[in-house]
């Protein structure tokens, strides 16, 4: 029997590696080619991962990684305070640059997922990804586990959006269920599924 995968909260020194992991995990995800312009897409994707899952999640203490940062899960906690002023300035400056001409459509599409979100406070999954060479070893499940276990202990739901049926089926393995479906704003190019996981009841 293999030893449990070591998972820990990410720290600032992890940001370059965890951003590289997400950037390496997302190129073949349909959302990536839809959300980022063709020019400089790899660099745009990396900066998005660095800022959103990296700096924002690390500063909030809500990004988890395997010890080698081969797998990452970045969350927003229920009732999370606004980012510090210096981080907010980075978000305001860099995210519009990362998404470029797609920025408004991406923001509008994110709002379309709202009807499926829980009304009560909940954890929101911003991103999860595993390097291709490390897939199939349960690392994705391992980095999700700390928050899902906390959700069960606190009686709090978890939620996310997915853009492919493959992703939907993967999250369903962890108890998530589709609560709303629509398509991306303006172009209607991609399906959007909102999924929610209710906390497990005590045995």
Instruction: Specify the DSSP class assigned to residue 131.
Output: -
CA distances from 153 to 93, 169, 183 (A): 37, 25, 34
Q: Which residues of the chain have pLDDT under 70?
A: 1-4, 202-203
Model pTM?
Answer: 0.93
For the segment 145-168, what is each residue's pLDDT rounded down to a tens digit? 999 999 999 999 999 999 999 999
Q: What are the CB-based long-range contacts (under 8 Å, 24+) for 19-22?
A: 19/46, 19/49, 19/50, 19/53, 19/54, 20/46, 20/49, 20/69, 21/65, 21/69, 21/70, 21/71, 21/72, 21/129, 21/130, 21/131, 22/49, 22/53, 22/72, 22/74, 22/127, 22/129
pLDDT at 7: 96
pLDDT of res. 28? 75
Query: Would you kindly state where each structural domain of the chain is located, as residue ranges?
Result: 7-197
- Which among 164, 55, 186 has a CA at the least distance from the CA of 178? 164
**Cα(147)–Cα(76) distance, integer angstroms:** 10
Whole-number pLDDT of residue 155? 96
Q: Does domain 7-197 have CATH number 3.40.630.30?
A: yes
Alpha-carbon distance values, 179 to 74, 114, 194, 195 (Å): 21, 10, 6, 6
119-151 pLDDT per residue, tens:
999 999 999 999 999 999 999 999 999 999 999
CB 72 within 8 A of CB 150: no
| DSSP output for 102-129 | GHHHHHHHHHHTGGGS-SS--EEEEEEE
Provide the pLDDT for residue 1.
37
């Amino acid at each position: 029997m293999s030893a449990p995968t070591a998972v820990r909260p990410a720290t600032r020194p992890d940001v370059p590696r965890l951003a590289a992991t997400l950037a390496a995990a997302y190129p073949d995800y349909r959302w990536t080619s839809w959300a980022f312009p063709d020019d400089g897409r790899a660099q745009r994707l990396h900066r998005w991962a660095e800022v959103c899952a990296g700096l924002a999640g690390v500063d909030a203490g809500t990004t988890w990684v395997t010890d080698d940062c081969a797998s990452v899960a970045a969350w927003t906690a229920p009732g999370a305070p606004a980012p510090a002023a210096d981080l907010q300035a980075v978000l305001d400056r860099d995210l519009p640059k990362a998404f470029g001409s797609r920025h408004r459509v991406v923001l509008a599409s994110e709002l379309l997922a709202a009807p499926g979100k829980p009304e009560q406070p909940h954890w929101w999954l911003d991103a999860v990804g595993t390097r291709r060479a490390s897939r199939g070893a349960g690392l994705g499940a391992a980095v999700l586990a700390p928050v899902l276990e906390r959700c069960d202990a606190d009686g709090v739901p978890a939620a996310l959006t997915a853009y492919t049926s493959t992703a939907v089926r993967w999250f369903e393995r962890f108890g998530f269920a589709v609560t709303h479906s629509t398509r991306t704003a303006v172009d209607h190019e991609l399906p959007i599924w909102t999924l929610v996981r209710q906390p497990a009841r005590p045995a």
